């Protein structure tokens, strides 16, 4: 997983069925001091993360489907937790 900060969200009307009613958050990787590193990516959110939250991003399809609870959904990155 990667540490990341939530910096926004994405609205998409034309999207795949398994993304209906899912929140798509824009997150950016951070290092352990909180500095932004790398490029932004889009992760599905299941934990009501808000902008500014530090989150754990899990990038693996099977894991994402487990967290979202949709064994056939189309997910490659998911928010797996919110860091205290």
Binding interface with a second copy (CB under 8 A): 1-3, 7-8, 10-16, 18-19, 24, 26, 29, 31-32, 37-43, 46-47, 56, 58-67, 72-78, 80-84
**Closest CB 67 distance from a second copy, rounded Å:** 5
Using CA atoms, how far apart are residues 37 and 53, in angstroms rounded to an integer?
16
**Closest CB 21 distance from a second copy, rounded Å:** 13
1: helix, strand or coil: coil
77 Cβ neighbours under 8 A, 6+ residues apart = 41, 42, 43, 44, 57, 58, 59, 64
**Closest CB 3 distance from a second copy, rounded Å:** 6
């Amino acid at each position: 997983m990667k540490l990341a900060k939530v910096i926004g969200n994405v609205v998409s009307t034309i999207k795949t069925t398994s993304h209906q009613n899912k929140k798509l958050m824009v997150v950016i990787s951070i290092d352990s001091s909180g500095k932004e590193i790398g490029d932004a990516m889009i992760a599905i959110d299941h934990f009501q993360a808000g902008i500014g939250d530090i989150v754990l991003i899990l990038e693996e399809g099977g894991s994402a489907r487990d967290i979202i609870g949709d064994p056939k959904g189309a997910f490659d990155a998911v928010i797996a937790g919110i860091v205290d």
